[in-house]
C-alpha cells in the first residue's frame, strides 16, 4: 500500500516508536506584532517590550506592546466579524469545525517550531513542549472541531398552545487572558470552544511568553478564518488585561492565572458591563497516599505531580498527605526521586526540569523555602538555587510539614514538595478541604470504598484516583471555591461560550 | 448537500452544468478500470467460497461491466446510472460530510452518572452493540454506505456489510480505503451478493448482534422476521415511502413548482422520500399543473456522463418494467396522462419524465411506491382535508409544505405523520439532522445524534458505597 499514515498511527504493523524530534535551537522569531483582522500592526503608542529566554537570561526579541487603543481596535474588528450576515456568522457549523481541524493540521505541521518557541520563551524542556503541550493543543483543537455541528438546542413541551424551542447562539466577542506556564495550551483551551461555538475573540497572551500565541495568529490567517475572528494583543496586565476585562463591547472573558488577579478580572467585568466570566486560578492541591496504595506508583505520581513544569502548574501536588504507616518509606523514596531529577538546559533531551520563568517567581519560591526552614519543616533535599547565576532551583523536599506552615497554605509554584502525615480518612478529608482553593485532588489506594468515599468527599473540580495530571480534551476541568468559576474542556466548556435563547411561538387557533 | 441541489432548481441544471463547464468538477473517466471485485474480509480480498461471481450491468447500455471489479470516482455513475455531475457534487459531498460528522462523535457520546436512591453510585456506560450487519440499497450506494458506517464505527462496533447486487463497485472501492486508513482487520467486512442468500444470512445469523437495512418495505418485513426468529438481534429499517408534498395556494409558485419537480424526479425518481403525491390547493391547481408539465418536458434525459444530463437510466430491467407497469395502471385507472408515459431511448433503461394530473387517492399510482420518474398531482380544498388524505397511508417517511403563512406551517408540520417534514424546501439533508420513518416506512433514525442510540448497548453500573452524599 502506498500510504500507511493511518495504519502506522493506529497501531498497525510498524510499531516502531516515533523518532525524537530535533529541536531548533536558534529559531528566528517571525511574528512579533499585534494581530488584528488577519493583519500585523504596530502598537498605537509605538512602544515595544522585550521577551527573555529564562535559561540563558538573554533577550529573544522585542514585541509590540499593546494598550487600550489597540484593544479598542481589536474589539472593533471582532465585533464586525460577529455582525449578522458576516462570513463568520453565515458559515455552516460543520465548516467552522473544518477550519478548526485545518488549524490542527497546521499546528501539527509546525509542531517542532512551536515547541522550540515555547521552550525558548518559558524554559520548559523541549520534549515536554513537543510531546505534552503540543499534543494537548492538537487534540483539543480536533476535539472541539468535532463539536461544532453538534451544539444542539431543544424543542420543549411547555404548557399552552405554543411551540417552544431554544437556540444555542454564540455569545459574541470573547476576551481571553492567558498565563505563562502553558502559553499555547491555555490559549487553545479557550480558543477551541470559543470558535467552535461561533464566537470571535480578542486574546492577550502573558507578557513573559507572547511568542507562540503570535505564531498561532499566522496559522489562523493561513487556514483562512475570516478576518476579525481572532485578534491578538500582546502587552501587560494593568494595561491590556485591564482594558479587556472592562471593555463594554466584550461579552465574555476567560482568564487563567493567579487567584489574586482573577478577582480583579471578575470585579472589572462586573463593574463594566456584567460580561460573563470564567476563571481558572490557583490551587494547593492535596495528594492523599493511603497505607494500602501501590507505593511506587504513588511516589512517582506525587513526584511528577509536584515537579512537572518546574512546579509551575495550577494542578501541582503541593500538599502530599501520607498515611502514617507508610510515611517514612514514602519520604525516603520521594527524596531519592527528587535527588535524581535532571535539571538543566531545556533543549537537552535528558533534562526534566528547566529554569523558573523569571526573577520574581524565583525570588518568591526561595522565600517560601526559607519560610519552610524557619517554621520548622524538615529539609530533606534541595532547598536552594542550583548555582549563583540563573533561575534554576534544586528539587526540594520538606517532610514533617504541618497545616499551618506557609508552605502548606500558599501556592508555591516551584519545585518544592511538602509532605504531611495523617492518621485517618476522616481527618485527612477535613484537612484536605480546609483551604479556599479547590482545583484538583489525588488519591492513592487499592480499596474500592475508600476511593469512592474520597472521590465524593474532596472539594475539588477534579479527583484523580491512582493517577495524576490525567487531563483529556473530553473531560471537564475547573475549580471549586476560589480555584475558579466554570469549566474548560469536555462538553461542559460549550456552555461557557454559548448564549441560550428561548423562542416561543403561539400556534394558530386550529390545533391538530 | 442535497440542499445545494435543491436550491438550484432549473438553476440545478445550470449551476451544476456551469460548475462542470468551468472544470470545478473533474472530467469523468467514462471507462474506468475495475479491479476490486472480490469479498473484503479482515482487510483482505477473497474469492467467494463457492467461487461464483455475478455480473454487474451498466444501466445506460444494458451491457455487463464485469464480473464485479474495481474503479475510480466515475464508478458510481457507471454502476447506478445517476448523472456524474450530481454523483460528484452531491453524493460524494454528502459522503464526506457524513464521515467527518461521525468522526466528531466518537469521543462525545456520553453515558451518565445518576442520582439513584440509597447508598449507591450509579452510572451508565455506552458500549458498542457488537457485530452489526448492514444491508444497503442501490439508489445511493456510497451515501448509504457512509450513513451506516459512520455511526457504527464511531460507537466502536464492527461491521459485516452486504452491498446491493446491482451496485457493488463503489462500496468495494471504499473497502480498500478502509484498509489504507488503518482500521484494524475485521472491523469492516464487505460481502457483495444477493438478498435471498447473503442478505438472509446476515439477517438470521446467530453471531450478528444488530441489523440495519435500507430498502423496500417488503424486504424490510423479511429482515425483521428473520431477526426475531434467530437471536432477537436489534433491528433498524429505512424503507419505502409515498411522501405527500402539499402546495398551499399562498406558496411562492415558481419555487414550489421547481421544488416539487425536484422532489419527484431527483435520482431518476429512485428516492425513498420522493414527493410522489403532490397535493395542490384548488385555487392554484391549473396553473401549477401547467407549469409542472412544462418543466417535466424540459427535463434532459441522456447519457449520465454528459454534463448536460439531468436524468439517467433506471437502475435495472426489473425496475424499468415495474415503472412502465405503473404508468400503464395510471392510464387504465383514469388518471390524466399529461406528458411522457413511455420509454425514452432504444437501449438501456431510460423512461420519459411522466406527469399524471387529476389523480385520485384510490388509484394504484397514488398508493404504491413507483420509484421512477412518474409524478402524481392531486387536488385538495382545505388544510384539514389534505392532512387526512396525506396521513392516509401505511407509509410515513417524509412530507413537505409550501406556504408563506406561519400558522399553516406550524399546523401542518405538527399534523403530518412523517419522520421528516420539509417547509418550503425538499430533500434537504444534513449529517446533523435525523432521518427515518413513521409507520411502515421504517423504525429508528439515521443521521444526527439520534443514530448513535441504535449502535449502542447501555450498561448500568451500580456500586454500593458506604455513605452517599449529594
Across B222-236, average pLDDT: 96
* pLDDT confidence of residue B6: 41
pLDDT tens-digit readout, A141-164: 999 999 999 999 999 999 999 999
pLDDT band at B46 (very low <50, low <70, confident <90, very high): confident
Cβ proximity of B353 and B322 under 8 Å: no
What CATH topology corresponds to A32-280?
Aldehyde Dehydrogenase; Chain A, domain 1 (3.40.605)
Contact assignment for A508 to B407 by CB distance below 8 Å? yes
Q: Is A452 on the interface with B (CB under 8 A)?
A: yes
Answer whether A204's CB lies under 8 Å from A155's CB: no
Element containing residue A262 per DSSP (H, E): helix A259-273
Confirm if B262 and B426 have CB atoms less than 8 A apart: yes
B462 neighbourhood in chain A, CB within 8 Å: none
Is B103 found in the same domain as B36?
Answer: yes
Region A502-509: mean pLDDT is: 90
Q: What is the pLDDT of residue A154?
A: 95
Question: Is A146 an interface residue toward B (CB < 8 Å)?
Answer: yes
| pLDDT(B24) > 90 | no
Residue A511 — very low, low, confident or very high, per pLDDT cuts 50/70/90? low
Q: Which of A412, A420, A370, A354 is nearest to A57 (CA)?
A: A354
Q: Residue B410 and residue A508: Cβ atoms within 8 Å?
A: yes
pLDDT-wise least confident of A489-498, B12-21, B425-434: B12-21
Distance from CA of A431 to the nearest CA of B (A): 19
Whether the CB of B104 is below 8 Å from some CB of chain A: the reply is yes
Bridge pairing between strands A416-422 and A396-399: parallel
Residue A5 has pLDDT above 50, yes or no: no
**Nearest Cα to B222, choosing from B205, B199, B243?**
B199
B194 with B92, same domain: the answer is yes
| Distance, CA of A70 to chain centre | 25
Pair B112, B41 in one domain: yes
Candidates B110, B410, B432; nearest CB to A149: B432
For chain A, what are the domain ranges? 32-280, 284-471
pLDDT in tens, A91-132: 999 999 999 999 999 999 999 999 999 999 999 999 999 999
- pLDDT of B73: 47
Q: Do B182 and A93 touch (CB under 8 A)?
A: no
Alpha carbon of residue A127 to chain centroid: 18
Residue A50 has pLDDT above 70, yes or no: yes
What mean pLDDT, rounded, does chain A reach?
95
Structure confidence at residue B54 (pLDDT): 74
Distance (Å) from the alpha carbon of A297 to chain B's nearest alpha carbon: 25
From B42-51, B295-304, B393-402, the region with the lowest mean pLDDT: B42-51
* Interatomic CA distance for residues A198 and A168, integer angstroms: 10
pLDDT digits (tens, 9 = 90+) for B366-377: 999 999 999 999
Question: Are the beta carbons of B107 and A143 separated by less than 8 Å?
Answer: yes
Q: Which residues of A touch B414 (CB under 8 A)?
A: 507, 512
Looking at the fold, whether B267 and B369 belong to one and the same domain comes out as yes
Residue B413 lies in a domain: yes
Is the pLDDT assigned to residue B22 strictly greater than 60?
no
Q: What is the side-by-side strand order in the sheet with B158-163?
A: B44-46, B39-41, B188-192, B158-163, B131-135, B210-214, B234-238, B442-443
Domain assignment of residue B58, yes or no: yes
**Average pLDDT of span B458-465:** 95
Report if residue B251 sits inside a domain. Answer: yes
Domain assignment present for B13: no
pLDDT value of position B41: 82
Pseudo-torsion of CA A465, A467, A472, A474, nearest 10°? -20
* Residue from B76, B165, B238, B310 carrying the catalytic annotation: B238
Distances (CA, A) of A229 to A224, B52, B61, B389: 10, 59, 53, 50
Region for residue A46 given its phi and psi (left: phi exceeds 0; alpha: psi -120 to 50; beta: otherwise) = left
| A7, A147, A150: residue with CB nearest B182 | A7
Does a structural domain hold residue B421?
A: yes
Distance between CA atoms of A248 and A243, rounded to whole angstroms? 9
* Residue A240 to residues A34, A194, B462, Cα–Cα distance (Å): 12, 20, 51
Q: How many CA atoms lie within 13 A of B411 on its CB side?
A: 21
Fold equal for A32-280 and A284-471: no
Taking CA–CA distances from A506, the nearest residue in chain B reads B407
A105 touches chain B (CB under 8 A): no
Confidence of residue A512 (pLDDT cuts 50, 70, 90): low
DSSP string, B411-439: HHHHH---SEEEES-SS---TTS-B--SG
Q: What is the CA B463 to chain-centroid distance, rounded?
A: 44
* Topology annotation, domain A284-471: Aldehyde Dehydrogenase; Chain A, domain 2 (3.40.309)
DSSP state, A477?
B
Q: Does B15 touch chain A (CB under 8 A)?
A: no
- Give the domain CATH number at B174: 3.40.605.10
Both B206 and B311 in one domain: the answer is: no
Question: C-alpha distances in angstroms, B61 versus B79, B302, B386?
Answer: 11, 11, 42
**Please, what is the Cα angle at B74 between B17 and B432, to 5 degrees?**
75
All three cell numbers of A397:
523536599
Higher pLDDT, B16 or A22: A22
From A65, A207, A280, A459, the catalytic residue: A280
Q: Is B130 helix (H, G, I), strand (E, B) or coil?
A: coil
Q: Does A145 contact chain B (CB < 8 Å)?
A: yes
Residue A27: what pLDDT?
87
**Is B238 an annotated catalytic residue?**
yes
Mark whether B281 and B194 lie in a shared domain. no
The three three-digit cell numbers of residue A356, written as one number: 523558573
**Total residues belonging to chain B:** 470
Q: Do B414 and A148 make contact, defined as CB atoms within 8 angstroms?
A: no
Q: What chain B residue is nearest to A473 in terms of C-alpha separation?
A: B107
- Band the pLDDT of A510: cuts 50, 70, 90: low
Find residue B244's DSSP bridge partners.
Answer: B277
Give contacts of A474 with chain B, Cβ < 8 Å: 107-108
Asked if A235 and A208 touch (Cβ cutoff 8 Å), the reply is no
Verify that B339 and B254 share a domain, yes or no: yes
A149 touches chain B (CB under 8 A): yes
Q: Is B45 on the interface with A (CB under 8 A)?
A: no
Pick from B108, B110, B410: CB nearest A146: B108
Q: Quick check: A449 and B466 CB within 8 A?
A: yes
- Same domain membership, residue B218 and residue B104: yes
Query: What's the number of domains chain B is made of?
Result: 2
Any B CB within 8 A of A160 CB: no
B280 falls within a domain: yes
Q: Which residue matches cell numbers 459512520?
A: B150
Half-sphere exposure of A291 (CA within 13 A, CB side): 9
Q: Which of A199-213, A302-316, A388-402 has the lowest mean pLDDT?
A: A388-402
Q: Which residues contact A94 (CB under 8 A, 6 or more apart)?
A: A148, A149, B97, B100, B101, B430, B431, B432
> Quick one: B290 and B414 in the same domain?
yes
Distance CA A472, CA A495 (A): 18
Long-range CB pairs of B443-447 (<8 Å, 24+ gap) are B443/B235, B443/B236, B443/B237, B444/B212, B444/B235, B444/B236, B444/B237, B444/B238, B445/B419, B446/B147, B446/B148, B446/B151, B446/B236, B446/B238, B447/B98, B447/B147
B256 plus B171 within the same structural domain: no
pLDDT of residue B249: 98
Q: Are residues B231 and B252 in the same domain?
A: no
Backbone angles phi, psi at B168, to 5 degrees: -85, -15
DSSP label at residue B197: I
How crowded is residue B409: how many other Cβ atoms within 10 Å of its Cβ? Answer: 18
Give chain A's end-to-end CA distance (angstroms, integer).
60
Q: Which domain holds residue B411?
A: 244-431
Is B90 among the domain residues?
A: yes
The verdict on a CB contact (< 8 Å) between B180 and A510 is no
Q: Is residue B5 part of a domain?
A: no
Give the residues across from A345 on adjacent strands: none
Q: Cell 520574581, residue?
A: A360
Main-chain phi, psi angles of B451, to 5 degrees: -70, -20
pLDDT of residue B7: 42
Q: How confident is the model at residue A4 (pLDDT cuts 50, 70, 90)?
A: very low
User: In this structure, how many other beta carbons lie within 10 angstroms of the beta carbon of residue B388?
Assistant: 13
Q: Are residues B260 and B374 in the same domain?
A: yes
Distance to chain B for A33, nearest Cα, Å:
35
Question: In this complex, how many residue pairs, one in chain A and one in chain B, have their CB atoms less than 8 Å apart?
Answer: 96
Give the confidence band of A22 by pLDDT, cuts at 50, 70, 90.
Answer: confident
Could you say which residues from 417 to 456 on chain B have a Cβ atom under 8 Å away from some Cβ of chain A? 430-432, 449
What does residue B379 show for φ and ψ, rounded to 5 degrees? -105, 145
Q: If you average pLDDT over residues A247-260, what whole number do you get?
A: 97
**HSE of A127, CA atoms in CB hemisphere, 13 A:** 11
| CA gap A247, A268 in Å, rounded | 9
Residue from A43, A371, A26 nearest A232 by CA: A43
CA distance A288 to A319: 8
**In whole angstroms, what is the distance from residue A35 CA to residue A64 CA?**
10
Q: Which residues contact B245 (CB under 8 A, 6 or more apart)?
A: B259, B260, B263, B264, B275, B277, B278, B279, B399, B400, B402, B426
Would you say B445 and B419 are in contact if contact means Cβ atoms under 8 Å apart? yes
How many CB atoms are closer than 10 A to CB B44?
A: 11
Confidence check on the interface: ipTM exceeds 0.90, yes or no:
no
Nearest CB to B104 within list A7, A147, A505: A147
A404 has a chain B CB within 8 A of its CB = no
CATH of the domain at B256: 3.40.309.10
Amino acid at each position: 500500500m502506498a500510504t500507511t499514515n493511518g495504519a502506522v498511527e493506529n497501531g498497525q504493523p510498524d510499531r516502531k516508536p516515533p523518532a525524537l524530534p530535533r529541536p531548533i535551537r536558534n529559531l528566528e522569531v517571525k511574528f512579533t506584532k499585534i494581530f488584528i483582522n488577519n493583519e500585523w500592526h504596530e502598537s498605537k503608542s509605538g512602544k515595544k517590550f522585550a521577551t527573555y529566554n529564562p535559561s540563558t537570561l538573554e533577550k529573544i526579541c522585542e514585541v509590540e506592546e499593546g494598550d487600550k487603543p489597540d484593544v479598542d481596535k481589536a474589539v472593533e474588528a471582532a465585533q464586525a466579524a460577529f455582525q449578522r450576515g458576516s462570513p463568520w456568522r453565515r458559515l455552516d457549523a460543520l465548516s467552522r469545525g473544518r477550519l478548526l481541524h485545518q488549524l490542527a493540521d497546521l499546528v501539527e505541521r509546525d509542531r517542532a517550531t512551536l515547541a522550540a518557541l515555547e521552550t525558548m520563551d518559558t524554559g520548559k524542556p523541549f520534549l515536554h513542549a513537543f510531546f505534552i503541550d503540543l499534543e494537548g493543543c492538537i487534540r483539543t483543537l480536533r476535539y472541539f472541531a468535532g463539536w461544532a455541528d453538534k451544539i444542539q438546542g431543544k424543542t420543549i413541551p411547555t404548557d399552552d398552545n405554543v411551540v417552544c424551542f431554544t437556540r444555542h447562539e454564540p455569545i459574541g466577542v470573547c476576551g481571553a487572558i492567558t498565563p505563562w506556564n502553558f502559553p499555547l495550551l491555555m490559549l487553545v483551551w479557550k480558543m477551541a470552544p470559543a470558535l467552535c461555538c461561533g464566537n470571535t475573540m480578542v486574546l492577550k497572551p502573558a507578557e513573559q511568553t507572547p511568542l507562540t500565541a503570535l505564531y498561532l495568529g499566522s496559522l489562523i490567517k493561513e487556514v483562512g478564518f475570516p478576518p476579525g475572528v481572532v485578534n491578538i494583543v500582546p502587552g501587560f496586565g494593568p494595561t491590556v488585561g485591564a482594558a479587556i476585562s472592562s471593555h463594554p463591547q466584550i461579552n465574555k472573558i476567560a482568564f487563567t492565572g493567579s487567584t489574586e488577579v482573577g478577582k480583579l478580572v471578575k470585579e472589572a467585568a462586573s463593574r463594566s458591563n456584567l460580561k460573563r466570566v470564567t476563571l481558572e486560578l490557583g490551587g494547593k492541591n492535596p495528594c492523599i497516599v493511603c497505607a494500602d496504595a501501590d507505593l511506587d506508583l504513588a511516589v512517582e505520581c506525587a513526584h511528577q505531580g509536584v515537579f512537572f513544569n518546574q512546579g509551575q502548574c495550577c494542578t501541582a501536588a503541593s500538599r502530599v498527605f501520607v498515611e502514617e504507616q507508610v510515611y517514612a518509606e514514602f519520604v525516603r523514596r520521594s527524596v531519592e526521586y527528587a535527588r535524581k531529577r535532571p535539571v538543566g538546559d531545556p533543549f537537552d533531551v535528558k533534562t526534566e526540569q528547566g529554569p523558573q520563568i523569571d526573577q520574581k517567581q524565583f525570588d518568591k519560591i526561595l522565600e517560601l523555602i526559607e519560610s519552610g526552614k524557619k517554621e520548622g519543616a524538615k529539609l530533606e533535599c534541595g532547598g536552594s538555587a542550583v548555582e549563583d547565576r540563573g533561575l534554576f532551583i534544586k528539587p526540594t523536599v520538606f517532610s514533617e510539614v504541618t497545616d499551618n506552615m506557609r508552605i502548606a497554605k500558599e501556592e508555591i509554584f516551584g519545585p518544592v514538595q511538602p509532605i504531611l502525615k495523617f492518621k485517618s480518612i476522616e481527618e485527612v478529608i477535613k484537612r484536605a478541604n480546609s483551604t479556599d482553593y479547590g482545583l484538583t485532588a489525588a488519591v492513592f489506594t487499592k480499596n474500592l470504598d475508600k476511593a469512592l468515599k474520597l472521590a465524593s468527599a474532596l472539594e475539588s473540580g477534579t479527583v484523580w484516583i491512582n493517577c495524576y495530571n490525567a487531563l483529556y480534551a473530553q473531560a471537564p476541568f475547573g475549580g471549586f471555591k476560589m480555584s475558579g468559576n466554570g469549566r474548560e474542556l469536555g462538553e461542559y466548556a460549550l456552555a461557557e461560550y454559548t448564549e441560550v435563547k428561548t423562542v416561543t411561538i403561539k400556534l394558530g387557533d386550529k390545533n391538530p | 448537500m442535497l440542499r445545494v441541489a435543491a436550491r438550484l432548481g432549473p438553476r440545478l441544471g445550470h449551476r451544476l452544468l456551469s460548475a462542470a463547464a468551468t472544470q470545478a468538477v473533474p472530467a469523468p473517466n467514462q471507462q474506468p478500470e475495475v479491479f476490486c471485485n472480490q469479498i473484503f474480509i479482515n482487510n483482505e480480498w477473497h474469492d467467494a467460497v463457492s467461487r461464483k461471481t455475478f455480473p454487474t450491468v451498466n444501466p445506460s447500455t444494458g451491457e455487463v461491466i464485469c464480473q464485479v471489479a474495481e474503479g475510480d470516482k466515475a464508478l458510481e455513475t457507471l454502476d447506478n446510472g445517476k448523472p456524474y455531475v450530481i454523483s460528484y457534487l452531491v453524493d460524494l459531498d454528502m459522503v464526506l460530510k457524513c464521515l467527518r460528522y461521525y468522526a466528531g462523535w466518537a469521543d462525545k457520546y456520553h453515558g451518565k452518572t445518576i442520582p439513584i436512591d440509597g447508598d449507591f453510585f450509579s452510572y451508565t456506560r455506552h458500549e458498542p452493540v457488537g457485530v452489526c450487519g448492514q444491508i444497503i440499497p442501490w439508489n445511493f450506494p456510497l451515501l448509504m454506505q457512509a450513513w451506516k458506517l459512520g455511526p457504527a464505527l464511531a460507537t466502536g462496533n464492527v461491521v459485516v456489510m452486504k452491498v446491493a447486487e446491482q451496485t457493488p463497485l463503489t462500496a468495494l472501492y471504499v473497502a480498500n480505503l478502509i484498509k489504507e486508513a488503518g482500521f484494524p482487520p475485521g472491523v469492516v467486512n464487505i460481502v457483495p451478493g444477493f438478498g435471498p442468500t447473503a442478505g438472509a444470512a446476515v439477517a438470521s445469523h446467530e453471531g450478528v448482534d444488530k441489523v440495519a437495512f435500507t430498502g423496500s418495505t417488503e424486504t424490510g418485513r423479511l429482515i425483521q422476521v428473520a431477526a426475531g426468529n434467530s437471536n432477537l438481534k436489534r433491528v433498524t429499517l429505512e424503507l419505502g415511502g409515498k411522501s405527500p408534498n402539499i402546495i398551499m395556494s399562498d406558496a411562492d409558485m415558481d419555487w414550489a413548482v421547481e421544488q416539487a419537480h425536484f422532489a419527484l424526479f431527483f435520482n431518476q425518481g429512485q428516492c425513498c422520500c420522493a414527493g410522489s403525491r403532490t397535493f395542490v390547493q384548488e385555487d392554484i391547481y391549473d396553473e401549477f399543473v401547467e407549469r409542472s408539465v412544462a418543466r417535466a418536458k424540459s427535463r434532459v434525459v441522456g447519457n449520465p456522463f454528459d454534463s448536460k444530463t439531468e436524468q439517467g437510466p433506471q437502475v435495472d430491467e426489473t425496475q424499468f418494467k415495474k415503472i412502465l407497469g405503473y404508468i400503464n395502471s395510471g392510464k387504465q385507472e383514469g388518471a390524466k396522462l399529461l406528458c411522457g408515459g413511455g420509454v425514452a431511448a432504444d437501449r438501456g433503461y431510460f423512461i420519459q419524465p411522466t406527469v399524471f394530473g387529476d389523480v385520485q387517492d384510490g388509484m394504484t399510482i397514488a398508493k404504491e411506491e413507483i420509484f421512477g420518474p412518474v409524478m402524481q398531482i392531486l387536488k385538495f380544498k382545505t388544510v384539514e382535508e389534505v392532512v387526512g388524505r396525506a396521513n392516509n397511508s401505511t407509509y410515513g417517511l417524509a412530507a413537505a409544505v409550501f406556504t408563506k403563512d406561519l400558522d399553516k406551517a406550524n399546523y401542518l408540520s405538527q399534523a403530518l405523520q412523517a419522520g421528516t417534514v420539509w417547509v418550503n424546501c425538499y430533500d434537504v439533508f444534513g449529517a446533523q439532522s435525523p432521518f427515518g420513518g413513521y409507520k411502515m416506512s421504517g423504525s429508528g433514525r439515521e443521521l444526527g445524534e439520534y443514530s448513535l442510540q441504535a449502535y449502542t448497548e447501555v450498561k448500568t453500573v451500580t456500586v454500593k458505597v458506604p455513605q452517599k452524599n449529594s
